[in-house]
Structure formats: structure tokens, C-alpha cells
Amino acid sequence: MPFSHQPFSEVDFRDIQGLVRYGHGHLEEASFYLLRIADAAAARAWLAKASITTAASGHPPDMALQVAFTHEGLKALGVPADILQGFSDEFIVGMAGDESRSRRLGDVGQNDPSRWKWGQVGTVPHMIVMLYAKPNELAGREAELKKDSWLTAFTELYPLHTKNIGDTEPFGFKDGISQPVIDWERTKPERLHDTLDYTNVAALGEFLLGYPNEYTRYTDRPLIDEKEDPDRILPLAEDKPGKRDFGRNGTYIVVRDLSQDVPAFWRYVDAQTNHDPVARQKLAHAMVGRTMKGDPIVRIRPERSLVSRPSWAIRSWTWRRTYADPQHRADPVRRAVHLGRGVQQHSLDGALGGAGITGAGLTGAGLDGALDGSLGPAHV
């Protein structure tokens, strides 16, 4: 499909994987397959036939198949080195490829990559294939998935099976709240740094490569000269005239397979509050950054909230030092916030951690594996 006349103001949903738009939280069963490419030609043949779910349908699908690649995986498929160099440093280095990065991520001690079941040097997956289905349909979808050249193309490194845990995460807090709304129409004005108004509408470039983000900047991604794409397979780069955009409509995905010690968390909170049940819950709320029901600790005045979905108005917080929360009482530990779109309703079997797309857990008790992946455009 040529992209030469694709208007920059429009988004081509046919070229975007469905996970970005739909999240797939409505599909209660899921399995993620960590793969190494055994035969590049067979892998390309399988990918050419795979019915990868796009964002074009206009409504959530009945099942979904999504594919993401690591830097090593793209290299194994034969992507030229000069193109691979255009990706972000974090993607190129990987989750466990740099000691300094491991330290910054907290992957030390018992969480050191050398202790992981997968994801450390030597066991980094080339691909992750994500399969989502309705209840009781996953097994049949999996059998269909592994037809054709699957066995020749791939070596299964490690399976990540899931179970539906609903909208309450293992520590007992309501999850899946304060979700962003993507500005697909690209109507959001440039970011106003001094505004106190809150909105959950986020710039498209916060999720997809090839578009401006909240700072009106473009994330680094591979760009090639137009002459290197004579068939005009790739879209034009918005910010670089004369360049074709290899990354446009793709995104990055982080998969961390972790364990969390729920009893240890509550024992710690209990000990710190001298077993006072009221103080115990208050401290837990402060540590997590919201109440167990999902409400913010410090509420924003309704008239300052521009949330696009009114039912979420009382759950709106900006993570900024605004007039409503000048001491950051709502998030005193400045915890990492994970998006979790699409898999917040699934918990990995054998782990109590978040749902596959996540940041490091607040009380992580062991990390089994991790990868930085690229969820490519649907045409990849």
C-alpha cells in the first residue's frame, strides 16, 4: 500500500496494531509467546500470512493477534544495521544489556538479570506474539496460530500464560483507572505548560512513532531516503522532508514478568502503623497514591477538570505540583505509573505482578524476565 499521498493530518488505522487503540481489556483470555527466530525465511513467510489485528475496524475485535520485535529480532529478520541504528538507545541496548541501566531500573540483587528465567543476555526473545480471545476460545485460537511454518520459523523460549483478575490488582487496589484518551483526530493544541486544567487527552506522539508528542517533538525512529523506497511502501516523515518513515505508526512495548509479595507489603504497613487498622489503610493509600477504591487522595476541583469521560472526573490527577496538591501528598513516593492498556485485566500465572505491560512493582519480590520491544506498524 503506497503512502505517498497520505495527508499528515490523518491517521491510517490500517497501519496501526489494534492493541494501541482498543487495549483488548474486553478479551478475558490471553497468552504471550516469547520466541527466537530459528529460520528467518520461514519467519518472514509466517508474518506475511499472519492476520495481525489492526485498528481499522472501528470497534473492539472478537479476538486479537499482535506482534512485537526486539532489536535482536529485527536484526535476525535481516533489517539492515543502518536502519536499526535509528531506534532509541533504550531499544537498542535492551532491558539487560547495560549495567548502568539495570541499576537505574532497580534490577539489582535478587532482581539482577543474571537471575532471570528469560531476558538476560543469551535468552533475549526475538519476538513476542500476543494472542487475545474470548473465554474458552484461546486454545482453539492457539492451535490455529501455530499452523503453517510456525515450528520451522520459531523456537518457543518461554510462554507467558495469563488469568483474568478483574479490575482489582493483587494488593487490593482498584486498577485500570485514569486511562488516557488518545487524540486520534490530532485536534489537541500545543501543550500549555502553565495551565492548571487537567485533561486525559494525550497527544498521538505519546503512543505512536512519527507524530508529535506533548512537547511537540518527534521521537527518534529510523528514517530513510525516498530513493531507498522506490515502491513507496513507507509513509513520508512529517518532520523530515524527503525522508520515508520506517517507524511511523509503530510504538514501543515493555514486558516485565515479575513477582510481588503481597503479604510482605501488608505486614510492613501493619508494622509501621502499630497494627492500627485506620492508620494502616491510610499509609497504604499514601504509598500507592490512591485509595483502594481508586479515588485520588487529594481531589482536583471539578471545575478544573477537563476529562473527556465525566464518570472519571473524581479520579483525575495530574501528577504535577498544582494548587490542589502543592506538597504532592497524593503521590509522596513519586511512584512509576504504568499505562497497562490492554492487559491490565490479566495477571501472569506464577506471578502476582501487573499484566504484562508494566513498570517495576513497588514491592517487587523477584523479576523473572523482561524485554524492550517494538510493536511495529501493521505493515511490518
Query: In this predicted model, what pLDDT tens digit does every residue of 268-281 receive, in sequence order?
Result: 999 999 999 999 99
Confidence (pLDDT) at 196: 56
Cell 492457539 belongs to residue: 142
In a domain, 362, yes or no: no
54 domain residue, yes or no = yes
Mean pLDDT value across the chain: 79
Cα separation, 236 vs 374, in Å, equals 20
Q: Answer whether 335's CB lies under 8 Å from 303's CB.
A: no
- Among the listed residues 284, 280, 315, the one whose alpha carbon sits nearest the alpha carbon of residue 298: 315
Q: What value does the mean pLDDT take over residues 289-318? A: 60
Residue 376 has pLDDT above 90, yes or no: no
Q: For residue 333, is it within any domain? A: no
Q: How many CB atoms lie within 10 A of CB 32?
A: 23
Number of domains making up the chain = 1
**Which of 108-122, 177-191, 250-264 has the weakest average pLDDT?**
177-191
What are the tens digits of pLDDT across the range 85-97?
A: 999 998 998 888 7
Residues of the chain above pLDDT 70, percent: 73
Asked if the model's pLDDT at residue 308 lies above 60, the reply is no
**Sequence-ordered list of residues with C-beta below 8 angstroms from that of 93, at least 6 positions apart, any chain:** 101, 372
pLDDT in tens, 1-33: 444 444 455 789 999 999 999 999 899 999 999
pLDDT mean over 109-125:
89
Residue 288 lies in a domain: no
Q: What are the beta bridge partners of residue 64?
A: 132
Residue 208 lies in a domain: yes
Please give the average per-residue pLDDT across 237-257, as a whole number.
93
Q: Read off the pLDDT of residues 67-87 as tens digits, 9 standing for 90 and up.
A: 999 999 999 999 999 999 999
Checking if the pLDDT of 353 tops 50, the result is: no
Please list, in sequence order, all residues whose beta carbon lies within 8 angstroms of the beta carbon of residue 111, skipping any fewer than 6 positions away.
Answer: 364, 366, 367
Residue 215: pLDDT band (50, 70, 90) is: confident
Q: Is 103 helix (H, G, I), strand (E, B) or coil?
A: helix
Q: Residue 286: enclosing H or E segment and its boundaries?
A: helix 277-288
Q: Is residue 284 part of a domain?
A: no
Q: Report the SS3 class of residue 375.
A: strand
The answer to whether residue 217 is domain-embedded is: yes
pLDDT in tens, 156-182: 998 899 888 888 999 999 987 777 889
Select, from the ranges 136-140, 176-180, 197-201, 342-346, the one with the highest average predicted confidence (pLDDT). Answer: 136-140
Grid coordinates given for 158: 518461554
Tell me the mean pLDDT in the region 39-68: 95
- pLDDT band per the 50, 70, 90 thresholds, residue 306: very low
Predicted confidence (pLDDT) at residue 360 exceeds the cutoff of 80 = no
214: pLDDT confidence band, cut at 50, 70 and 90?
A: confident
Q: Which residue has the cell 500464560?
A: 161
The pLDDT, as a whole number, for residue 379 is: 54
What's the pLDDT at 148?
A: 81
The per-residue pLDDT for 200 is 79
Res. 367 pLDDT band, cuts 50 70 90: low
Which residues 6+ apart lie within 8 Å of 229 measured at CB? Answer: 244
| pLDDT at residue 42 greater than cutoff 50 | yes
- Is the confidence at residue 191, as pLDDT, over 70? no
Cell of 327: 506538597
**Which residues are registered as beta bridge partners of 97?**
none
Using CA atoms, how far apart are residues 360 and 370, in angstroms rounded to an integer? 10
Identify any residues that bridge with 347 across adjacent strands, giving them in sequence order: 163
Residue 19, in any domain of the structure: yes
pLDDT at 365: 35
Domain that holds residue 108: 13-169+203-257+369-375
Using CB atoms within 10 Å of the CB of residue 98, give its burial: 0 to 12 exposed, 13 to 18 middle, 19+ buried. Answer: middle
Cβ within 8 Å of residue 290, ≥6 positions away: 173, 174, 177, 296, 297, 315, 330
Predicted TM-score (pTM) of the model is: 0.79
